[in-house]
Structure 1
Amino acid sequence: MPTKICSSCQTDTETVVDHKAGHELCSRCGLVLEINLLDEIPEGQNSPGSVENPVCETENSSKSSSSFNPSDQKTVKNSSKKGFDQITVMGDALGLTAEIKDRACEIYSQVDIMKTCRGRSINSIAAACLFIACKEIGSSRTLNEISAVADGVSKKNINRTSEAIKKQLEVESWVLHPRELIRRFCSKLGLENRAIKAVQEAAERAQNIDIRRSPKSVLAAIIYMVIQLCQRDPVPVRDIAMVLEVTEVTIKKSFKDISAYASRVIPEWYAGEEDVNKIPYP
């Protein structure tokens, strides 16, 4: 069996080829070591086979999750192919880069071989892997957007599956940086460039203040404040909550926490302290 240095295991390890997908995998941890090997596979070795069970219900599930038995290769090959296909379909629908889709496939391969998500469907695992890859690489895709292309998989299901994968595979966790989503959120709410710039600067200033709310909650409160200072009809709080995927109660609580620092957060060039202090409670 061929060997290669695995960047994850940091050792010379035996490799297994997924003939259908054309991927070469580390036999220890499941990391995709090389992609698109189809041209190198001898003719007749890439027959599809047929396994209809979800990835988490493959045979020999009682074996250690940290080891891979080459005899299971056919089962892994078929379930991996289905997952890779689903990731490609969802990624294309969202207009994601090849880098993000490839990373999602790497995570899926580890999940598939190590049987990390027993009892979950291929669609939910593929969606969760894509969600993790987006956050790792810095694509500002929300659970709503991924759920919309995940063939009926709910946001709650995707989130729970991604948390299980992160815990078992120890993939990097992330913090949502509001700036990634500001322009898209503000555009959906009809804000002009000057107001968007004020939101971006306010979000950056807020990072230096000890506000114990999630970044998205703080951003929602900032957008609310900036909208109140616009020379235009205010956008209803429920619309802000819908666009940012938070609750109206969350916006009200976040505003209460950040309002004491409003004059430090809202840029001086956008509004004076007197106007900032007059912003009404949501």
Structure 2
Amino acid sequence: MTGNISKEERIKGEFIPESIGGYEKIGKCPECGSKLYLDSERAELICEECGLVVEDSFIDPGPEWRAFDEKERENKSRVGSPMTYTLHDKGLSTMIDTKNKDSYGSKIPSNKKTKLYRLRKWQKRARVKDSTERNLLFALGELDRMSSQLNLPKNLRETAALIYRKAVDENLIQGRSIEGVSAASLYASCRKLDVPRTLEEIAEVSRISKKEIGRTFRFISRKLNLDLNIVSPRDFIPRFCSKLNLSEKVKEKAKKIIHKAEEKNILSGKGPTGIAASSIYIASIECGEKKTQKEIAEIASVTKVTIRNRYKELVKKLGINL
């Protein structure tokens, strides 16, 4: 129980309809029968006459953020799904569900299914207005498929979609396959966000050869002036060791070998995956968890000859005694 609320407190709050707070049948104070009053600051349901606190644990339905003007309020609003570059219309158009059910979950009568089918068909056509949007629809679908097969994160997919959109805006698609530019955009986003993926891995999930993906990647990165990070052999060590079921000790040892090789400047002109594979091979021998060159070659997507050549160079130039 509380005392009678003041006029100022009454002005701060608002009278609530009879359906709020689970009092549909009562709608009034259970003690004196007066109207109930919701104090939004204290989250309490109070009788305006006797001051009885009927409920004291209301959930605030308002936003947890503050806005100081109308523009800021609109930017922070969470009405509708967020915009995404991975859809050709950025996720801003309306979708008609393929399930023949209404908003209550009831089945739609058979005499209305034909009309709904026609609406769905015309809505699908309206979402794609021209050849550019058809291009984006196919290309972004390919990006999503390849990203899913490679288990790439959402932010990387967004970056790849943005790179592809820039290539379309600069008219770099003309004369090149959509799949090739899509795969090259995905590889460029991996390089940009330091996610270690090789051209071989991208080529495996696409329908394009490694040679064409590499050529297209070099072209769009030059034309779009992409600021891409240099691939380091260290980036591949954790993933390769994880797939080979090697311990943390081997992983750290392989990274130390690469660090020494970088200090002596003997990695210039060498493929990062080959260096990573040979470092893991040396580290596995030193730590007593030896893996064969064939096992490591299959995981790293390089040949046994490459591992053998890099292994001999590292052992000789770093003075490693096995």
Against the structure 1 CA distance between its residues 218 and 21, is the aligned structure 2 distance closer, same or farther, given a 3 Å change threshold?
closer
Q: Deviations over 1:216-252 (max 9, x none)?
A: 33222222212222435x4332332232222333223
Match of 2:194 in 1: 138
Maintained 8 Å contact 1:241/1:247? yes
Q: Distance in 2 between matches of 1:88 and 1:44?
A: 22
Against the structure 1 CA distance between its residues 46 and 214, is the aligned structure 2 distance closer, same or farther, given a 3 Å change threshold?
same
Match of 1:220 in 2: 277
> What is the CA-CA distance between 1:204 and the residue it aligns to?
2.7
Maintained 8 Å contact 2:180/2:212? yes
Q: Choose from 293, 302, 312 the match for 1:246.
A: 302
SS in 2 for 1:47: helix
Q: Choose from 185, 201, 224 the match for 1:129.
A: 185
> What is the CA-CA distance between 1:129 and the residue it aligns to?
0.7
Q: Deviations over 1:23-42 (max 9, x none)?
A: 4xxxxxxxxxxxx4437xxx
> What is the CA-CA distance between 1:144 and the residue it aligns to?
3.3
Higher relative contact order (CA 8 A, sep 6+): 1
Q: Distance in 2 between matches of 1:229 and 1:120?
A: 48
Maintained 8 Å contact 1:140/1:180? yes
Which amino acid in structure 2 is aligned with residue 186 of structure 1?
C
> What is the CA-CA distance between 1:185 and the residue it aligns to?
0.8
Matches within 5 A, 1:80-159: 80-150=136-206, 152-159=207-214
90-99 or 79-88: bigger deviation: 90-99
Matched, 1:47 2:126: yes
> What is the CA-CA distance between 1:210 and the residue it aligns to?
0.9
Which amino acid in structure 2 is aligned with residue 132 of structure 1?
A
Number of matched residues?
A: 208
Which amino acid in structure 1 is aligned with residue 211 of structure 2?
K
Which amino acid in structure 2 is aligned with residue 177 of structure 1?
S
Q: Distance in 2 between matches of 1:96 and 1:229?
A: 33
Maintained 8 Å contact 2:89/2:127? no
Against the structure 1 CA distance between its residues 45 and 198, is the aligned structure 2 distance closer, same or farther, given a 3 Å change threshold?
closer
Provide runs of 4+ in structure 1 moved above 4 Å.
Answer: 43-46
The two structures have a TM-score, normalised by structure 1, of 0.64
The two structures have a TM-score, normalised by structure 2, of 0.57
Match of 2:26 in 1: none
135-144 or 114-123: bigger deviation: 114-123
Residue ranges of structure 2 left out of the alignment (5+ in a row): 1-84, 95-121
Q: Distance in 2 between matches of 1:202 and 1:100?
A: 30
Match of 1:176 in 2: 231
Q: Distance in 1 between matches of 2:243 and 2:123?
A: 52
> What is the CA-CA distance between 1:200 and the residue it aligns to?
2.2
> What is the CA-CA distance between 1:46 and the residue it aligns to?
7.3
RMSD of aligned C-alpha atoms?
A: 2.8
Match of 2:250 in 1: 195
Q: Give the percent of matched residue pairs that are identical in Structure 1 and Structure 2.
A: 26
Q: Which has the larger radius of gyration?
A: 2
Q: Deviations over 1:93-139 (max 9, x none)?
A: 32322211111111111222323243332222211111111110111
Which amino acid in structure 2 is aligned with residue 162 of structure 1?
F
Match of 1:54 in 2: none
Residue ranges of structure 1 left out of the alignment (5+ in a row): 1-17, 24-35, 50-72, 264-275
Matched, 1:21 2:97: no
Q: Distance in 2 between matches of 1:194 and 1:157?
A: 38
Which amino acid in structure 1 is aligned with residue 185 of structure 2?
C
Q: Distance in 2 between matches of 1:229 and 1:187?
A: 18
Which amino acid in structure 2 is aligned with residue 176 of structure 1?
V
Match of 2:73 in 1: none
SS in 2 for 1:207: helix
Q: Distance in 2 between matches of 1:192 and 1:145?
A: 24
Q: Distance in 2 between matches of 1:242 and 1:78?
A: 38
Maintained 8 Å contact 2:93/2:127? no
